[in-house]
Structure 1
Amino acid sequence: MYTKDELAKRRNTLSTEKLALLHKRIQHKAGQEVSARTIPLHVPSINIPLSFAQQRLWFLQQFDPENAAYNEMISLRLVNPLNYEEVNQTIRSIVQRHEVMRTIFPFTADGPIQVIQSMEDLDIVVPLIDLQSLSYEEREAAARQWTEADMQCSFHLTEQLPWRIHLLQLERDVHVLVITMHHIVTDAWSLEIFVKELIALYQASCHNTPSSLPDLPIQYADYACWQHQWLASRSLEKQISYWQQQLADPLPVLELPFDRPRSDILTHHGRRSNWSMPAQLYQAIHQFSQQEGTTPFMLLLAAFKVLLYRYTLQEDIIVGSPVAGRLHIELEPLLGCFVNTLVFRTNLEGNPGFRELLQRVRHVALAAYEHQDVPFEKLVQVLQPERSTGRNPIFQTMFVLQNVPQAQAQTLDLIVTPFEITINTTRFDLSIVLQEASHVLGGYVEYNTDLFNDDTIERLLGHYQTLLEQIIAHPDTPIAELSLHSSWDTEIGMSPCVRPCPDERCSW
């Protein structure tokens, strides 16, 4: 048994999402909301609606049919002899197991619906592309070029399965497996599930042994039907009321200092700049977070908000952040788009010390997670924010600290490693995406190249790291006085401003 102090210490190590999940599951144990939150099987005879997240993605694709910004990809290098027929059988097994992989989204008089196709109507064969006649350098370049081009090809969701797969053969025993999916049937969690099941089913198929994967309790269509019924029952009125107060007008529009003016039409040309935090700094962030009764996510988000404040001088700042959206145990093994987006709005007025601001961010984050059941798409529908064709509604920047279970990529027969490619799209003006691996925090900044130059983003990353170092060293310093000057700035003699700006914005 743990003492009260030990329990409190263990609780402080949990992410905010896990804290919210723990709270909700304790509620369910106590018998609260159980009947309202059970997900039943849907009635087969009815038209299956799209989930709220799917609806938004469907309409975005119809508005801009050639847009590939919502494509997701798994690209794996497979080394050692590969059984091509067993690869085909493995993919068929995954498609049989997950109905969402057999779903198209036609438009009807009632709007878009899900139509699940039978396996008998599908001819699933993995195309094999032979690159062995090329030299090593040419093979690698061709595989990367081919994979990146496939990532840029859009899907016709009304009549086409929203995924495709290819197998590139580089050498006799070296292949690259490429699976491209539209976000309408997947999310970050689902990509890990796909890899996990791919490995498990291939291994079982090769050795003619039964699969160790348990049967799925429900399918994505069951979830979509339940979500609509649940929202229609007015079960979320209290949560919606919270968001209406939290996001009351006027909603701020973040005015980042771009290198080029924003277009009247939202563009998705993007790039990623990788970044790795020094291990000593990340350890210090963990220790300080625990000391303050917060989490590393809250501290990193608060620091990002300080950075945005220093770039814009705006004191009312909104940032979006995704959550897994799988608060029910039966949703955890499913493929599909369950991710939800939470909106973190923080008031930075009064030039608080960072320690005080961190508590403001903590309060907002815990409240957001407590009210995370409202789909972001439903929130936009209720709030009716002023829309612009040149920017996303409500927020334009994302902050992500991924907490997705990582699939084990080793099998007895294959060496499986990621096949890295260049991503040339983005969904937002600016996103910071971080993930912990082996106690090291790394990730990237994804940015719109129509708005930002590469060196601007490199400088931004330097400012963010310098700011984190200053926060750990001087947590009570007012946020307007924390230094952003990095060694990179000093070397080239530049101000940390990203464009010509008023004198007060340059006094960093």
Structure 2
Amino acid sequence: MENSDIAGLAEVIEKHKNKGSKEHDAIVRASENTDNLPLSFSQKRLWFLDRLSEKSTQYNLYTALKLRGNLDRKSLQKSLDEIMDRHRILKMAFREENGQPVQVYNPEAKLDMVFVDLRQVPEEERERQALEIARKEAAKPFELGKAPLLRASLLCLDNDEHILVMVVHHIVFDGWSFGIFLKEMTHYYEMFRSGKGQKLEELSIQYTDYAYWQAKRFDEGLVNNQLEYWKNKLSGDIPVLDLPLDKQRPAIQTYNGAKFTASIPSDLVKKLKKLAGKEKSTLFMVLLAAFKALLYRYTGQEDIVVGTPIANRNRKDIENLIGFFTNNLVMRTRFSGKTSFLELLRQVRRTTLDAYSNQDVPFEKLVEELHVERDMSRNPLFQVLFSLQNTHISLEGFSEINASIIGIDNGSARFDLALDIREAGDGLKADFEYNTDLLNQDTIKRMAGHYRQLLDSIVQSPEKEVDMLSILTREEKTTMLNTWNSTEVDYGDIPCWTKLFEEQVKKKPHRVAVRDKERCLTYAELNSSANRLANYLISKGVVLKQ
């Protein structure tokens, strides 16, 4: 989640300070008990979703690291063991007790890294096979009752080239946690490999302490003001975004998905950042406003609701804790085609800052409090997600290993459509993840082109009304102006269309030429009527070109 606007951040922080000191009591160790521990609100939602759709993989998180250099497998395994011991959430299993989900600590749970040797495979085939193995691992479901909910595989392509694949269930992990995990993994790897360095300082709290603290805050009414904000913001009927789908929506939501990636070049990104700075906004706000404008152009709806994830790490004591902290914020914007983009951006800015300052209400609690009627065919409150990932994951801790992240796709989608934009050098990559039971790749490819063109139009004329901003790509304009208007047909020596008609009369006199609701005429009948009309006009003195 991106928010680099200093003034905006100051505004958000100041609002949090004014909410009262009780909200910022330190999280403390709640209990040393290892059985029947409470779940956070976010964990409860994933537990119930898993019960509804067992063996689903939409909440699998995964990454793949290419490791080049002299890798010490034993040191790597030891580093994984240390992280497992350090973060108790990684040894949790989930079960039901008296009708309620609980998590249970399993101290003996181990993460045994699976080694797959591909050196006997032809060299040109190794990476393809490795990526296929990684994809299958990412698409393999977890059983929440069995710890650990984390898998690791080390694929050996050559003596100095490996791919480390990690797959973990979202109920114990989030995107921020990957950064913590990799940072600690490199620290411990170098410590074991070199025999130098010290273990990291013991964590003062664990994720279950956060779950206790979160529930306590709600019980004491410390989040009531924030909850009221969301109830007002989302009052009335929440609109369902009516995207033009390629296929009929199934009665029960499916999670089959695919991903299409488009590029946003560095020169365009510079212009977008310049616009953001001028309007006291952030790049995230500009990109979100543009996405909302695109959704309006696709649907014609003037009340657009989009979800966006936030790290929810706004406390120092949970910054270095692995676990599921991410929250989804509901961004609702009302505007019309007559609204200028600058006006839309300002509205999105206000909505975003307000949402940040009220981020402590879990999405799951919001759904419960709003009494949202459950529709089994779609997600509650929003069906489209937008995010900008700018959290830098450091892979520079290895001294003898060069590490880089490889993209893999497990073939699932949690929403109808999710646009995830991430940094790529000086430019951006836009990942369009879509439900393949609703949308085709050609549709998403066109949408990606329209989004890129819309961004170009915005930086050129941000004062224009949303309806007036161009979304057609150069290829689409060429097709419309040239290809579709190229209607010439070579009819040989026939000088004009009347001669062509007479030729058709001779060839097929009894074929139907014209038809209306009442009757139809053959070519012979139409020709006869045309001749009678011509003779009548001549008799009245009408001449050629008159």
- TM-score for the superposition, normalised by structure 1: 0.90
**Deviations, residues 433-454 of structure 1 (Å, cap 9, x unaligned):** 1123443222311111111111
Aligned residues of 2:418 and 2:433 also touching (Cα < 8 A) = yes
Specify which of 108, 120, 131 is matched with residue 118 of structure 2: 131
**Deviations, residues 24-79 of structure 1 (Å, cap 9, x unaligned):** 67559xxx425653211112247321111111111111111111011011211212
The Cα shift of 1:123 comes to 4.4
Match of 2:173 in 1: 186
Match of 1:43 in 2: 31
Rate the CA distance shift 1:228–1:26 in 2: closer, same or farther, 3 A: closer
Letter in 2 for 1:13: D
The Cα shift of 1:181 comes to 0.1
Match of 2:64 in 1: 75
Rate the CA distance shift 1:440–1:212 in 2: closer, same or farther, 3 A: farther
Match of 2:84 in 1: 95
Match of 2:14 in 1: 23
Letter in 1 for 2:419: I
Specify which of 347, 357, 361 is matched with residue 370 of structure 1: 357
Superposed counterparts of 1:424-503, under 5 Å: 424-493=411-480
The Cα shift of 1:493 comes to 3.9
Does 445-454 or 208-217 show the bigger shift? Answer: 208-217
Specify which of 219, 226, 233 is matched with residue 220 of structure 2: 233
Match of 2:95 in 1: 106
Match of 1:499 in 2: none
Superposed counterparts of 1:312-327, under 5 Å: 312-327=299-314
Rate the CA distance shift 1:410–1:425 in 2: closer, same or farther, 3 A: same
Bigger Rg, which one: 2
**Deviations, residues 267-296 of structure 1 (Å, cap 9, x unaligned):** 111111112212121111111111112111
1:283 aligns with 2:270: yes
The Cα shift of 1:166 comes to 1.5
Q: Distance in 1 between matches of 2:255 and 2:478?
A: 33
Q: What is the DSSP-based 3-state SS (H/G/I as helix, E as strand, rest coil) of the residue aligned with 1:48?
A: coil
Superposed counterparts of 1:325-474, under 5 Å: 325-349=312-336, 351-409=338-396, 411-474=398-461
Q: Distance in 1 between matches of 2:481 and 2:71?
A: 53
Specify which of 224, 227, 238 is matched with residue 251 of structure 1: 238
Match of 2:73 in 1: 84
**Deviations, residues 458-483 of structure 1 (Å, cap 9, x unaligned):** 11111111111112222221111211
Match of 2:42 in 1: 53
Aligned residues of 2:109 and 2:147 also touching (Cα < 8 A) = no
**Deviations, residues 288-345 of structure 1 (Å, cap 9, x unaligned):** 1111121111111111111000100000010000000111111111111100010000
Rate the CA distance shift 1:12–1:433 in 2: closer, same or farther, 3 A: closer
Specify which of 117, 120, 127 is matched with residue 106 of structure 2: 117
**Deviations, residues 370-411 of structure 1 (Å, cap 9, x unaligned):** 111100000001011122111100000011011323223451
Rate the CA distance shift 1:486–1:350 in 2: closer, same or farther, 3 A: closer
Match of 1:505 in 2: none
Letter in 2 for 1:419: I
Q: Distance in 2 between matches of 1:408 and 1:24?
A: 35
Superposed counterparts of 1:152-301, under 5 Å: 152-211=139-198, 213-301=200-288
Q: Distance in 2 between matches of 1:23 and 1:247?
A: 24
Q: What is the DSSP-based 3-state SS (H/G/I as helix, E as strand, rest coil) of the residue aligned with 1:106?
A: strand
Q: Distance in 1 between matches of 2:40 and 2:12?
A: 21
RMSD: 2.1
Aligned residues of 2:115 and 2:155 also touching (Cα < 8 A) = yes
Letter in 2 for 1:23: E
1:13 aligns with 2:5: yes
Q: Distance in 2 between matches of 1:484 and 1:440?
A: 20
In structure 1, stretches of 5+ residues that fail to align are 1-10, 496-508
Rate the CA distance shift 1:445–1:335 in 2: closer, same or farther, 3 A: same
**Deviations, residues 228-276 of structure 1 (Å, cap 9, x unaligned):** 1111111111111111111112110000001111111111111111122
Runs (4+) of structure 1 moved beyond 6 Å?
A: none
Q: For this pair of structures, how many residues does the alignment match?
A: 479
Letter in 2 for 1:365: T
**Deviations, residues 194-243 of structure 1 (Å, cap 9, x unaligned):** 11111111011101123363332211111111111111111111111111
Q: What is the DSSP-based 3-state SS (H/G/I as helix, E as strand, rest coil) of the residue aligned with 1:293?
A: coil
Q: Distance in 1 between matches of 2:43 and 2:92?
A: 12
Does 160-169 or 486-495 show the bigger shift? Answer: 486-495
Percent identical across equivalent pairs? 36
Q: Distance in 1 between matches of 2:301 and 2:481?
A: 23
Q: What is the DSSP-based 3-state SS (H/G/I as helix, E as strand, rest coil) of the residue aligned with 2:51?
A: helix
Q: Distance in 2 between matches of 1:409 and 1:24?
A: 37
**Deviations, residues 342-384 of structure 1 (Å, cap 9, x unaligned):** 0000001372111111111111111111111100000001011
Match of 2:518 in 1: none
Rate the CA distance shift 1:409–1:71 in 2: closer, same or farther, 3 A: farther
